[in-house]
Amino acid sequence: MTPVKVNVQSEIGRLKGVILHTPGAEVENMTPRTAQRALYSDILNLSIAQKEYSQLNGVLKKYTKTYQVNDLLKTVLDDRRQRDTLIRKICNVENANDYFDALMEMNSKELTTLMIEGLPAKIDTLTAYIKDEYYALSPLYNFYFTRDASASIGQDVLICKMANQVRVRESMIMEAIFKCPQLFNCEMINANDYSHEKVGEGGMAGSLVNAGLTIEGGDVEVINDHILLIGNGLRTSTQGIDMMISRFCKDKNCGEKFILVQELPGNVESFIHMDMVFTMLDRDSCLVYEPLILGDNEYRTVLITIDNGRVKSIKTVANIISALKRLGVDLKPVICGGDDEWNEEREQWHSGANSFALEPGKIFSYARNVHTIEAMNDSGYEVLTARDVIAGKKDLNDYKRCVITIEGSELPRGGGGARCMTMPVLRENL
């Protein structure tokens, strides 16, 4: 394939390329005993999850260029030098050096499968038997949420520093994919390289050692080419956001740039990322979980202004909507769950605020969140089923605004929605 030049300047520009991973055996390669460690509260029914995912994948394949992680990873592994680099790194990080030689000799297709679905451990010693670990390399249970391990920001790709050990290999794989010259053309921001570095140069007040640095793609939203929205919570630390400030400060001639930070609850599973409470729908509308984004609560919204490589100000603001309006982005919020607080809470839990835009005003959402869908319909979004779009019964070009609904009885139980399951690499500029 011709290398793709990464460019994502917004959340809603017409989608021209997106990375996906169809959930496979890795989703079921767990037991109730290991589910919590895998960041699951239950084990998904894979056959149903795949049928639901096929609706998302089917519309995207019809509409834009899609890239499957398995195919991209196989291309990396086909190259002996790139294979050596990636496998050596994985084995070192996951204490599996005894398996390195065997992995290097596998064919690329088999190795790709094992890297994602898990590598069974050799039980040939008493120590290995007593350890009671089935896998030498654990399955990547969460990899169908391709949003988290990397994020496209303009023409850069952020390789994320994952908050949980079980997801670290995802970021290593995405790093290898974006480094592969046959696949993508981009500059890379590797958060893992900042873990033991000092930040604070370029005008930041103070100097911090980033031992607690974490940042995940679900917390990073590109509002436009000079405004970045980042969630600070379970998966993205203040040190991770400081790293992004430091990165912005390296460009001494960038003019004004803004990082808008939203604190998220640190003890509620459904608030794991920013995109679980706020996503863009159109140039002038967004989908929000009202109690956190607009209601009175203890969670701060902080605006950081960077001017030509120096931090100009850091201040608390009322909320995301009012702050964006002052920055020239005037948004009308559509409320996840509608106007009933019970519905709001329940549908936010099932990723009701987690939408994904194909282009301005044309977005994906789970059909199960009926009150959210109704609120969107009341705001001028025609309701289409993914099945009808795939079958050609509905043409997206016939609608100015629409919400494409995908079935979601199993997929949401993994902890995410349409935005979580998509990693854009190319969008048209607005």
Residue 414: predicted pLDDT: 87
Residue 29 phi/psi, 5° resolution? -80, 60
How far, in Å, CA of 167 to CA of 38, rounded? Answer: 9
Contacts of 274 (CB under 8 A, 6+ apart): 218, 219, 220, 221, 229, 230, 231, 233, 236, 262, 264
Query: 252 falls in which pLDDT band (50, 70, 90)?
Result: confident
Please check whether residue 249 is in contact with residue 201, taking contact to mean a CB–CB distance below 8 angstroms.
yes
**Closest-CA residue to 10 (of 384, 286, 265, 416):** 286
Q: What's the chain's average pLDDT?
A: 92
Query: 423 falls in which pLDDT band (50, 70, 90)?
Result: very high
The side-by-side arrangement of strands in the sheet containing 285-288 is 278-282, 285-288, 332-335
How far, in Å, CA of 143 to CA of 58, rounded? Answer: 19
**Paired residues of 384 in beta bridges:** 404
Residue 114: predicted pLDDT: 97
Alpha-carbon Rg for the chain, nearest whole angstrom, is: 21
Q: What is the mean pLDDT of residues 123-133?
A: 75
Residue 268: predicted pLDDT: 74
Query: What tens digit of pLDDT does each residue of 196-210 get?
Result: 555 554 444 444 446
Interior angle at CA 344, CA 404 and CA 37, nearest 5: 85
Q: Name the residue range of residue 274's domain.
A: 4-427
Q: What is the mean pLDDT of residues 121-139?
A: 82
Q: What is the mean pLDDT of residues 11-32?
A: 93
Contacts of 67 (CB under 8 A, 6+ apart): 17, 18, 19, 20, 425
Contacts of 132 (CB under 8 A, 6+ apart): none
147 has a pLDDT exceeding 50: yes
**Paired residues of 313 in beta bridges:** 305
Residue 216: predicted pLDDT: 98
**Closest-CA residue to 240 (of 267, 268, 274, 271):** 274
Q: What is the reported pTM?
A: 0.94
Query: 123 falls in which pLDDT band (50, 70, 90)?
Result: confident
Query: 289 falls in which pLDDT band (50, 70, 90)?
Result: very high
Q: What is the mean pLDDT of residues 65-85?
A: 98
41-55, 243-257, 303-317: which range is least confident on average? Answer: 243-257
Residue 205: predicted pLDDT: 41
130-139, 174-183, 237-246: which range is least confident on average? Answer: 130-139
How far, in Å, CA of 160 to CA of 216, rounded? Answer: 5
Query: 195 falls in which pLDDT band (50, 70, 90)?
Result: low
Residue that the structure tokens 């169908």 belong to: 144
426 has a pLDDT exceeding 80: yes
Query: What CATH number is given to the structural domain containing 71?
Result: 3.75.10.10
For β-strands 423-427 and 382-385, DSSP reports them as unpaired
Query: What tens digit of pLDDT does each residue of 153-183 get?
Result: 999 999 999 999 999 999 999 999 999 999 9
Query: 279 falls in which pLDDT band (50, 70, 90)?
Result: very high
CB atoms closer than 10 angstroms to residue 144:
26
Burial (0-12, 13-18, 19+ Cβ within 10 Å), 129:
exposed
Q: Is 220 helix (H, G, I), strand (E, B) or coil?
A: strand
Residue 269: predicted pLDDT: 75
Query: What tens digit of pLDDT does each residue of 266-275 get?
Result: 877 779 999 9
Query: What tens digit of pLDDT does each residue of 338-374 get?
Result: 999 999 999 999 999 999 999 999 999 999 999 999 9
**Paired residues of 374 in beta bridges:** none
Please check whether residue 159 is in contact with residue 150, taking contact to mean a CB–CB distance below 8 angstroms.
yes
Structure tokens at 140: 């990547």
The DSSP annotation for 226-285 comes to TEEEEEESSS--HHHHHHHHHHHHT-TT--EEEEEEEE--SS-GGGSSGGGTEEEEETTE
Please check whether residue 81 is in contact with residue 89, taking contact to mean a CB–CB distance below 8 angstroms.
no
Number of domains forming the structure of the chain: 1
